[in-house]
Amino acid sequence: MSTANVPPASTGLRGQAVGLTEIATVGKAGVGLTYRGYAIEELADHASFEEVAYLLIYGALPVQAELDSFRLRLKQKRQLPEALRKVLELIPADAHPMDVLRTACSFLGSIEPESSFAMQKEVSERLLAVFPSALAYWHHFSRKGEQIATDDDANSLAGHYLTLLHGDAPSEGSRRALDVSLILYAEHEFNASTFACRVCAATLSDFYSCITAGIGTLRGPLHGGANEAAMALVERFKTRKEARAAVLELLAAKQKIMGFGHAVYKHSDPRSAINKAWSQRLSKSAPDGYLFEVSEEIETVMKEEKNLFANADFFSATVYHFLGIPTPHFTPLFVMARTAGWSAHIQEQRANNKLIRPNADYIGPEPRPFVPIEKR
Task: Show which residues are catalytic.
Answer: 223, 262, 313
Strand pairing report for 38-39 and 33-35: antiparallel
25, containing H or E segment: strand 24-26
Q: What's the CA angle centered on 103, arms 98 and 105, to 5 degrees? A: 95
For 141, 184, 347, the CA distances from 177, given in Å and listed in that order, are 27, 11, 29
Instruction: Give 118's contacts (C-beta < 8 A, 6+ positions apart).
Output: none
Q: What does the longest C-alpha to C-alpha distance in the chain come to? A: 77
The candidate with the shortest Cα–Cα distance to 24, out of 191, 178, 181, is 191
Cα–Cα distance between 19 and 10 in angstroms, integer? 19
Cα–Cα distance between 113 and 110 in angstroms, integer? 6
Q: What's the CA angle centered on 83, arms 82 and 84, to 5 degrees? A: 90
